[in-house]
Amino acid sequence: MELTVVIFVILSIMGATMYFAGNIGEWNKGKKASSALREVFVAQRSYLADNPRQEVTLISGRDLIQYLPSGGSVLPGVEDLNGNTLSFDVTKSPPVLTESSGLVYDPSGSSTDSLWDVGE
């Protein structure tokens, strides 16, 4: 009887650990996406500072590459929770992540929480 209780407690702890580890992984992906979005947002603002007559709706990702703070030669790569590649919509300010269908991707449900978005 005592051994059964001990095994049950150990399995319960292992189950809880696995559950929280999965949530931490999702949170981490959201924070990385937010960091990439902030980098693109900085590039967008820098580009607009140098080109004040340019309309935001006419900006392309290519325009922003030389303004990336990281000095990268391409926009940062971002994946959704299922591993699908997301795109940056830089024709909005601040930029947003979009799925291949063009819909805004933000599974957190809030556009100001700094998960999958630029935040406030």
pLDDT of residue 22: 66
Select from 53, 37, 52 the least CA-distant residue to 92.
37
- pLDDT(120) > 90: no
pLDDT of residue 21: 63
Residue with tokens 């922003």: 64
pLDDT in tens, 53-74: 999 999 999 999 999 999 989 9
Using DSSP's 3-state secondary structure scheme, residue 87 falls into strand
**HEC readout, 40-95:** HHHHHHHHHHHCCCCCHHHCCHHHHHHHCCCCCCCCCCEECCCCCEEEEECCCCCC
Question: Where in the chain are the domains?
Answer: 2-98
